[in-house]
Chains A and B, each alone.
Chain A
Amino acid sequence: NAGVMQNPRHLVRRRGQEARLRCSPMKGHSHVYWYRQLPEEGLKFMVYLQKENIIDESGMPKERFSAEFPKEGPSILRIQQVVRGDSAAYFCASSTGLAGAYNEQFFGPGTRLTVL
């Protein structure tokens, strides 16, 4: 059973370009979380999605950032008009989303975004 997949692993963008980060959850998982890790810091929650539904986006910056998890295909974190401050490691985690129990999150290897 493959783990959480993220691609690309490394992404370089120039200021003003768009970045698209993809996350394929573990088989059988229908919930996805995105976290951002700035240099020398811990991870910060960004957004929590179920297929075709955003459950919690309280950690998402108000502008330029968006996330989706379509019925088919991976979850996408999209950053428009990137700036140098967006340089970070972006981690995706997935869980089963089963009701009535704590759902462990399994993390992917991350996408390291560098903005030149």
Chain B
Amino acid sequence: AQSVTQLGSHVSVSEGALVLLRCNYSSSVPPYLFWYVQYPNQGLQLLLKYTTGATLVKGINGFEAEFKKSETSFHLTKPSAHMSDAAEYFCAVSGAAGNKLTFGGGTRVLVKP
């Protein structure tokens, strides 16, 4: 069984400030981890993923995330927020044995000018 917890359903950041979105997971098998972004009334776009190998993963739009097995975390960061980063972000986990994704509840990011 797998689960994902995203701390904070809403995050407000100033333009140019650090964006930090927290994600903790639980998985009975080695996890594959993902961050997706959803803009209003649109589908999900993959930001980045961790499957194997390097634990620091770089994605699109300047985002990166680090897989920390000891902390069961996969937090998402971006050094400098841009207005276009305002969206909802979902962390997800999948087991190696199957492909269904288990999502967290999402974090809505508001970027203030």
Contact = CB atoms under 8 A, between A and B. Distances in A.
Q: How large is the interface on B (under 10, 10 to 19, 20 to 34, 35 or more residues)?
A: 20 to 34
A43 B103 contact: yes
Given A107-B43, A107-B44, A109-B43, A42 B103 contact: yes
B84 interface: no
Contacts of A69: none
B43 A108 contact: yes
Interface of A: 4, 31, 33, 35, 41-45, 48, 56, 58-59, 91, 93, 95, 102-110, 112
A42 B32 contact: no
Interface of B: 4, 6, 32, 36, 41-46, 49, 51, 90, 92, 94, 96, 98-106
A91 B100 CA distance: 13
Contacts of B99: 31, 33, 48, 95, 102-103, 105
Contact of A91 (B6, B41, B44, B92): B44
Nearest to A92: B43
A101 to B, nearest CB: 9
B21 to A, nearest CB: 13
A56 B106 contact: no
